[in-house]
Amino acid sequence: MKTEKSGYILSLDQGTTSSRAILFDHSGRIVSSSQRDFSQYYPEPGWVEHDAVEIWDSQLAVAREAIAAASIDPAEIVSIGITNQRETVVVWDKDSGKPVYKAIVWQCRRSNQICEELIDAGLEEEFRSRTGLRLDPYFSGTKLCWLFREIPGLKALAENGEILFGTIDSWLLWKLTGNHVTDVTNASRTLLFNIKEQKWDPVLLSILGIPVQVLPKVLASSDDFGYTDQKYFGREIPIQGVAGDQQAALFGHTCFEPGMAKNTYGTGCFTLLNTGSAPVWSKNNLLTTIAWKIGNQTTYALEGSVFIAGAVIQWLRDEVHLLSSAAESEQLAKSVSDTNGVFLVPAFVGLGAPYWDPDARGSIMGLSRGSGRAHIVRAALESIAYQSEDLLSSMSADCGHKIEVLKADGGATANQFLMQFQADISGVPVLLPEIAEITALGVAYLAGLKCGFWESLEDISRNWQIKCRYEPSMKLEEREKRITLWHKAIYATREY
């Protein structure tokens, strides 16, 4: 019989648009939470920045609010986990602790030219075989290289050990504990980390001109990252779980066995497939990444990243004013029986996997005199599912069998039309968990495993409950016809 343990785990979930803190109990239930949005900066077309100080302030504030809302003594928090938007680059002064530049966000395309130079120099395979990633501005390495090229004197400061680099986890860890550390999952997204040897890769650092002394020490995902300074929560609390948010979601969904997959429907869509203890090198333009490391045991994943998913609905609401709320998209989509031939390809910042086309831009096609608001909104929602289907079919091709079940989470899973369309277009059941905050839960599990709050993966698996299940009902012939038309739309968009 399962026994409940007393105490709580605090998860800090630092996402692209908001900072959240959530307290979980032993059964994985949410005890309290708090969330704050922060500013997005778009200084030039295709550029995206955050203020690292605002991120820190908002993250600390929500952590304190969540603890206050639960009316608990901080002494009851047995451990803390940190999960974060990945790839985003922060560089700060070691002495003053001040960031030297705005955080360069994962969506930012400013290092595209550096990527092109490296591709032209024939270095793509060199990077891919060591990191599992592609030469795309998405990843941290070329963003850091851009800073060294553009900020006079920065490289010399780096060589003298006067500045530090980190992804968001590393920045928060440094603020909370004073330790300059990260975990393998975040390191595996930098384009600087050898995922087989699990160390910063000297060859890649030399190609990009990055001094090794700016890089954090890399730990496992369930590990001892340090203690929070007493001034933050009134006592020192150990931080024992760290993982990039997409890997944390895979863990939170308890996708512990090879072949298990999840898709997170947020700003973008991120599909991860557990491939077990050895990396699988994609033949279909997916990424190979570290899913988590517990003790000496590393689990790898195949990943497909779609840059614009729920963000297309935000765009329809905020820029085009076709919607008054994201939720309204569901009822509008259901008000018509199909898109009447309309396709929308939301390539606003290029296309991610499996196309990797940074120059593509969005399109709406197939318009006729009868096309209306509902058709366009429906086409936008369908585009989220079509893009995810492209990832799933690439994964199936890579691993030689169809994905049997897709576990889903993220803000856009609230849309029942979208979830049903995903099940239909992919011919796969889509499962939603009872606890929606699966990313935060995933890193709580990683922290809780380290301190013995949860004893094993089996112990954790018992907490996963299905909230609802969407069964595929579209005929195979219809599915294939629609996917063919979607690919025609992708082709036309890229040709433009």
Ligand X SMILES: Nc1ncnc2c1ncn2[C@@H]1O[C@H](COP(=O)(O)OP(=O)(O)O)[C@@H](O)[C@H]1O
Burial of residue 314 (CB within 10 Å: 0-12, 13-18, 19+) is middle
Binding mask 16-45 for ligand G3P (x = CB under 6 A): x-----------------------------
Q: Which is nearer to ligand G3P, 11 or 85 (CB)?
A: 85
Figure out which of the listed residues 119, 414, 483, 485 binds ligand X, where binding follows CB under 6 A: 414
Q: Which is nearer to ligand G3P, 201 or 437 (CB)?
A: 437
Figure out which of the listed residues 80, 104, 313, 460 binds ligand X, where binding follows CB under 6 A: 313
- Per CB under 6 A, does 304 bind ligand G3P? no
Figure out which of the listed residues 11, 15, 148, 165 binds ligand G3P, where binding follows CB under 6 A: 15
Binding mask 140-179 for ligand X (x = CB under 6 A): ----------------------------------------
- Per CB under 6 A, does 222 bind ligand G3P? no
- Per CB under 6 A, does 410 bind ligand X? yes
Rounded Cα distance between 185 and 183, Å, is 6
- Per CB under 6 A, does 245 bind ligand G3P? yes
Contact 204, 192 (CB under 8 A): yes
* Residue 87 binds which of ligand G3P, ligand X, none (CB < 5-8 A, kind-dependent): ligand G3P
- Per CB under 6 A, does 58 bind ligand G3P? no
Tell whether the torsion through CA atoms of 243, 244, 245 and 251 is positive or negative. negative
Rounded Cα distance between 90 and 182, Å, is 13
Contact 248, 15 (CB under 8 A): no
Of the candidate spans 24-32, 83-91, 378-386, 399-407, the one that interacts with ligand G3P by CB under 6 A turns out to be 83-91
Nearest CA-CA partner of 83 in 247, 193, 225, 233 = 247
Tell me 221's DSSP state. S
Contact 7, 26 (CB under 8 A): yes
Q: Which is nearer to ligand G3P, 106 or 233 (CB)?
A: 106
Of the candidate spans 53-61, 71-79, 388-396, 408-416, the one that interacts with ligand X by CB under 6 A turns out to be 408-416
Q: Is 267 annotated as a binding residue?
A: yes
Tell me 473's DSSP state. -
Give DSSP secondary structure letters for 117-140: HHHHTT-HHHHHHHHS--S-TTSH
Extended strands (E) in 97-231:
103-104, 163-166, 181-183, 193-194, 199-200, 217-219, 222-227
Matching residue, tokens 């995810």: 388
- Per CB under 6 A, does 17 bind ligand X? yes
For 282-304, letters b (16+ CB in 10 Å) and e give bebbbbbbbbbbbeeebbbbbbb
Residue nearest to ligand X (CB): 411
- Per CB under 6 A, does 246 bind ligand G3P? yes
| 82 DSSP β-pair partners | 12, 242
Site for ligand G3P in 96-125 (CB under 6 A): 106
Q: Which residues bind ligand X (CB under 6 A)?
A: 15-17, 266-267, 310-311, 313-314, 326-327, 329-330, 410-412, 414-415
The annotation places the binding site for ADP at 16, 20, 267, 310, 411, 415
The annotation places the binding site for glycerol at 86-87, 138, 245-246
